[in-house]
């Protein structure tokens, strides 16, 4: 039986006058390894960039939420709103989420996501968004003090538990955010 030779040549090669067996594959070069690494990294990144928004689009919104803003690196804010929003609730939800979208664009996805994951950072972001809603209500004639108290109550009861943040910290954050939003 005859041995099977490599596709190119006799199975040997000459190196400095010596005959060496022909290698069927070449050793990877640094350039080739780097190129393969870049291709794999791009494939992973593009998959993540496409999968996360797709999953976000089909995942149901929590029953207590009216809308959600997701802040992705390289993409920016992606928003979802429940279908049953109407009238003033819809307007307030759009104002609230537009503030989060602006925060995402202004500060970047990494900063936004780091802040939203900690109670103190989330308080700052949510206070600004709720105070934007409050500013809309005061423009329409609502009492500023009453609306500010409603913002504090919403943050204390719907967003945070007493163990997360003290009520005094919530009041201080709302005072600062609402003063900036309402022009005081």
Identify the residue with better confidence: 138 or 159: 138
Q: Maximum Cα–Cα distance for the chain, whole Å? A: 99
Percent of the chain scoring above 70 in pLDDT: 84
pLDDT at 90: 93
Which tokens in the block code for residue 98? Answer: 């537009």
| Mean of pLDDT over the chain | 84
CA distances from 167 to 111, 157, 160 (A): 25, 10, 10
Higher pLDDT, 63 or 90: 90
Instruction: Give the Cα separation of 149 and 134 in Å (integer).
Output: 10
Q: What is the mean pLDDT of residues 112-133?
A: 92
- Would you say residue 33 has pLDDT above 80? yes
Chain centroid to CA 64: how far?
A: 20
Tell me how far the alpha carbon of residue 149 is from its chain's centroid.
30
The secondary structure of 8-49, three-state, reads CCCCEEEECCEEEECCCCCCCCHHHHHHHHHHHHHHHHHHHH
What's residue 160's pLDDT? 79
* Residue 130: predicted pLDDT: 93
118: nearest Cα among 63, 159, 65, 74 = 159
Distance CA 65, CA 129 (A): 14
Q: How confident is the model at residue 56, as a pLDDT?
A: 76
């Amino acid at each position: 039986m005859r041995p099977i030779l490599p596709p190119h040549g006799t199975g040997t090669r000459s190196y400095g006058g010596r005959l060496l067996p022909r290698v069927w594959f070449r050793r990877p070069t640094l350039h080739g390894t780097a190129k393969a690494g870049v291709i794999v990294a791009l494939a992973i990144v593009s998959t993540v960039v496409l999968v996360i928004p797709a999953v976000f689009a089909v995942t149901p919104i929590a029953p207590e939420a009216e809308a959600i803003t997701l802040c992705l690196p390289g993409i920016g804010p992606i928003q979802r709103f429940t279908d049953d929003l109407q009238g003033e609730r819809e307007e307030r939800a759009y104002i609230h989420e537009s503030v989060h979208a602006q925060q995402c664009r202004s500060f970047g996805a990494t900063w936004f996501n780091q802040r939203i994951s900690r109670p103190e950072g989330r308080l700052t972001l949510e206070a600004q968004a709720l105070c934007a809603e409050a500013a809309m209500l005061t423009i329409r004639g609502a009492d500023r003090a009453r609306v500010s108290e409603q913002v504090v109550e919403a943050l204390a009861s719907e967003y945070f538990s007493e163990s997360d943040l003290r009520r005094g910290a919530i009041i201080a954050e709302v005072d600062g955010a609402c003063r900036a939003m309402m022009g005081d």
